[in-house]
Amino acid sequence: MTKTWWIRTLCFMVVPFLLAAGSFLSGTRTDDPCAGSMSVEPDISQNWPQFRGTNAAGIATEQDLPLNWDVKTGANIRWKRAIPGLGHSSPVVWGDRVFVTTAVGEGKEAYLKVGRYGESPDNPEDYDHHYKVYCLDRTTGEIVWEKTAYTGKPKVARHIKSSHANCTPATDGKHLLVFFASQGLYCYNLEGKLLWTRDLGYLDAGAFNVPDIQWGFASSPVIYQDKVLLVCDVNNQSFITALDLESGKDIWRTLRDENPTWGTPTVHTSADRTQVIVNGYKHIGGYEVETGKAIWWMRGGGDVPCPTPVVAHGLVFITNAHGRMRPIYAIKLEAEGDISLARNENSNRFIPWSYPRRGSYQPTPLVLGDLLYVADNGGILTCYTAVSGEEKYREKIGGDLGSYSASPVAVDGRLYFTDEYGTITILKAGPRYELLAKNSMDEVCMATPAISHKTLFIRGRRHLFAIGQVGD
Task: Tell me the average pLDDT of the chain.
Answer: 91
What is the predicted pLDDT for the residue at 11?
42
Rounded to 5°, the CA angle 252-253-257 comes to 150
Band (pLDDT 50/70/90 cuts) for residue 46 is confident
Residue 13 or 320, more confident:
320
Mean pLDDT computed over 251-274: 97
Residue-level pLDDT at 400 = 73
Q: How confident is the model at residue 355 (pLDDT cuts 50, 70, 90)?
A: very high
Lowest mean pLDDT among 12-21, 139-148, 173-182, 284-293: 12-21
- Residue 437 corresponds to which amino acid? A
What pLDDT is attached to residue 209? 87
119 band by pLDDT with thresholds 50, 70 and 90: confident
For residue 317, pLDDT over 90 is answered with yes
Q: What is the pLDDT of residue 428?
A: 98
Asked whether the predicted pLDDT for residue 376 surpasses 90, the reply is yes
- pLDDT confidence of residue 402: 81
8 Å CB contact between 332 and 314 = yes
Cα distance between residue 214 and residue 159, in whole Å: 7
Alpha-carbon distance values, 125 to 85, 141, 457 (Å): 13, 31, 30
CB 289 within 8 A of CB 270: no
Tens of pLDDT, residue by residue over 20-40, are: 333 333 344 343 333 333 333
Element spanning 7, H or E: helix 3-10
- % the chain with pLDDT above 70: 90
> Is 29 within 8 Å of 196 (Cβ atoms)?
yes
**Lowest-pLDDT choice from 20-29, 56-65, 67-76, 437-446:** 20-29
Tell which residue, 89, 156, 148, has the closest CA to residue 125: 156
> What percentage of the chain has pLDDT greater than the value 90?
84
Which among 261, 226, 270, 225 is positioned nearest to 240, based on CA atoms? 261
pTM of the model as a whole: 0.91
Give the three-state DSSP class for 182. Answer: helix
Beta-sheet strand order (sheet of 380-385): 366-368, 371-375, 380-385, 391-396
pLDDT value at residue 319: 98
Tens-place pLDDT, residues 3-26: 444 434 444 334 444 443 333 333
When pLDDT is cut at 50, 70 and 90, the band that residue 121 belongs to is confident
What is the pLDDT at residue 323? 87
In sequence order, what are the residues at sequence separation of 6 or more whose Cβ sits closer than 8 angstroms to the Cβ of residue 31? none
Give the C-alpha separation, 345 to 324, whole Å: 16
Question: What is the pLDDT at residue 326?
Answer: 95
Residues 6+ apart with CB under 8 A from 148: 130, 131, 132
Q: Which of 207, 229, 225 is nearest to 216 (CA)?
A: 207
Exposure string of 162-184, with b = 16+ CB inside 10 Å and e = fewer, is bbbbbbbbbbbbbbbbbbbbbbb
pLDDT of residue 122: 87
What stretch of H or E contains 383?
A: strand 380-385
Q: How confident is the model at residue 118 (pLDDT cuts 50, 70, 90)?
A: confident
Distance CA 287, CA 454 (A): 36
Confidence of residue 332 (pLDDT cuts 50, 70, 90): very high
**Is the predicted pLDDT of residue 177 greater than 60, yes or no?**
yes
Q: How many helices (H) and strands (E) does the chain have?
A: 1, 37
Dihedral class, residue 21 (left if φ above 0, else alpha if ψ from -120 to 50, else beta): left
Q: In order of start, what are the domains of the chain with their CATH numbers?
A: 3-467 (2.130.10.10)
Mean pLDDT across the stretch 376-392? 97
DSSP state of 58: -
pLDDT of residue 27: 42
Question: Is the pLDDT confidence value at 369 over 50?
Answer: yes
Nearest Cα neighbor of 412 from 431, 385, 430, 439 is 430
* 322 within 8 A of 10, measured Cβ to Cβ: yes
Q: How far apart are the first and last CA of the chain?
A: 60
- pLDDT of amino acid 329: 98
Q: With contact defined as beta carbons under 8 Å apart, do 100 and 63 qualify?
A: no
The whole-angstrom separation of Cα 114 and Cα 130 is 23
Distance, in Å, from the CA atom of 304 to the CA atom of 361, rounded to the nearest integer, reads 8
